[in-house]
Structure 1
Amino acid sequence: MYVLLVICVAVVSYLLWIKYIYYLQNLAKSRKQLLKCMLCGNKQFNSPQTSDLSRKVRALFLTAHPDDECMFFAPAILGLLELNASVHLLCLSQGNYYNQGVQRREELLDSCAVLGIPDSQVTIHDSKELPDNPNIEWSISVASSVILKHTRAHSINLVLTFDGTGVSGHSNHTAIYKAVSYLGSTGNVPDDCSLLSLSTISVLRKYLSFLELPISWLLPSDLCFIVESKGHYQAKRAMLCHRTQLLWFRYLYIWFSRYMFVNTFRVIDQGPKNLKVY
């Protein structure tokens, strides 16, 4: 009886902790993190008002395949849109591994519409040099060129993408990180642009659903986005747009993946920019 009581108290306490974290998140913690992140990467940005910052943010999500946007980045997309940021998406392939590219392109546009990204701010890059294929190593030169061109064309000042492990380990995911890191390390990213990578976590944490939230909250990160039930429902609706991808295990992912609830990012280091010798 005593053991059962202790377990019940522990469970209730844990759930109350999660509730408290949601409360803190609603107090605009993400706004403060975003301000800090932008100031770190952007020496020209000096507005002290987070509300001013939100209106000036032009964020670009870099993905490899249609469905990446909702499987991995939905909390961040929804969070930035809630902060009144302008959100863009660049998908570097149309997902044609099983010759479904045309259909997957339409599914991506439908998913982005559910998340709140208009068609005019969604770009799907389709070239033989960057195929949807985990067995083909993408050219860092080609990928970085496409990313840089898009970043400059749309005056992007915040880039968010995968980290070096790519969450799922997919080689196309990690290639994007390598391309962005290359741009950052060589100083080719525009002066006012910050770079962020989505943190890969262990498989155990990955499938704890919202119960993983306190762990993400306690561990260090440069930017954290959390969605409540309404945001999670929106993310699920977006994922359901990808009808060609809805195998049985994807339904399990929708319900149990922590990435449908929480996104944590780390800043990608950048090299010196616009160095001049006199």
Structure 2
Amino acid sequence: MPAIVNRLRSPRGLAIFLLLPILMAAFCYYTLSQLSTHSPIRNRNIALLIAHPDDEAMFFSPTIQSLVSPSLQNTVQIVCFSIGNAEGIGNIRETELLASASILGVTNVNNSVIILDDPNIEDSMTKSWPEDLLASLISDSLKDLRDENGGKRVDTFITFDKGGVSAHPNHVSLLRGAKYYLRHYPKQNDILLYTLNTVPVYRKYISILDAFVTTLLDRVKNGARGVEEEEGGGYNGAPKSAMYLSNWQGYRTAQKAMTEGHKSQMVWFRWGWIAMSRYMVFNDLVLDTDLS
């Protein structure tokens, strides 16, 4: 401790100490200013496609909390393709998903959340799910959601990208199933498909700092013109990408969705996840127009 104090007393140490608040302020300003250029998804009837109860809280919390904002005039619904019965507690996890969705702001969860329990769709760390079966289940689920939503048809999917955040085969299968559905059900091919960006492991656990990394990389990749194109929209006027950064209250709400919503899943390593994962505080989505 005395050595640290002595270093701070030196001109160089004092300068670094005084610069830290300025650098932090610059980081916050830059990140927020860049996020403001990414048009939010608005006026859409959205179906979030997840593999297991707790995916919505562990990976999509910032997105859900943003999209349910009344100012964006979205309808947000969730389709979960398994009850998460790998440990034989699927009935508990179904109830937990409804509780978590409610905490995150999804309204009328008994009608807005569909939880599937097909014997051919097994919660597994090693098995992929058949894309044609997933497409059939998606079709049936969308009919149910339309009936529960006053006849309004789902026009937007949000799900995992090809990396599945953790390369979980069930996560990755959902993207293939969604694309299979969009290819083979031609009346539905105007549905927008957004995917959650998978980042390297070393970025998963730097929490809010990855918002800065992501926006900086986006600027380097696309430049000023890329940002302008984002504002102009992508397919049918929809944004090509969307970034959602939670404030402190949103971050705590995401944690609450896990600690109070998914109590059965709060084993030791998930405490580390909800404390440090960038997905608890920041999401970046990309519009996927390649249905191959």
TM-score, normalised by the number of residues in structure 2: 0.78
Q: Aligned equivalents of 1:236 and 1:194: distance in 2?
A: 29
- The answer to whether structure 1 residue 111 and structure 2 residue 100 are counterparts is yes
Matching residue within 33, 47, 50 for 1:24: 33
Residue 242 of structure 2 is matched in structure 1 by 223
Letter of the structure 2 residue corresponding to residue 196 of structure 1: Y
Alpha-carbon offset, residue 231 of structure 1? 0.7
Identity %: 30
Query: Which amino acid in structure 1 is aligned with residue 24 of structure 2?
Result: L
Alignment-mate amino acid for residue 90 of structure 2: G
Question: Match for residue 280 of structure 2?
Answer: 260
Query: Deviation per CA, 1:219-246, whole angstroms, max 9, x where unpaired?
Result: 3371111111011111111111111110
How far, CA to CA, are the matches of 1:70 and 1:10 in structure 2? Answer: 36
2-structure distance, mates of 1:7, 1:234: 35
The amino acid of 2:84's aligned partner reads G
Alignment of 1:120-269 (within 5 A): 120-153=111-144, 154=146, 155-186=153-184, 188=186, 190-220=188-218, 222-240=241-259, 241-269=261-289
1:4 is aligned to 2:13: yes
Tell me the residue number matched to 2:236. Answer: none
Q: Answer yes or no: is 1:76 the counterpart of 2:63.
A: yes
Shift of 1:81: 0.8
Specify whether residues 248 and 151 from structure 1 end up closer, same or farther in structure 2 by C-alpha distance, changes over 3 A only. Answer: same
CA distance, structure 1, for counterparts of residue 194 and residue 258 of structure 2: 23
Residue 265 of structure 1 and its aligned partner are, at CA, apart by 1.1
How far did 1:164 drift? 0.7
The AA in structure 1 aligned to 2:193 is L
Distance 2:105 2:269 in 1: 26
The ranges of structure 1 where at least 4 consecutive aligned residues each deviate by more than 4 angstroms after the TM superposition are none
- Look up the equivalent residue of 1:256 and give its one-letter code: M
Change (3 A) 1:244 1:193: same
- Judged with a 3 Å threshold, the aligned counterparts in structure 2 of structure 1 residues 14 and 113 are, in CA distance, closer, same or farther, namely same
The CA RMSD measured in Å over matched residues stands at 2.3
Q: CA deviation at 1:14?
A: 3.9
Aligned equivalent of 2:48: 61
- Larger Cα-atom Rg: 2
1:67–1:21 Cα change, 3 Å: farther
CA contact (8 A) 1:163 1:200 kept: yes
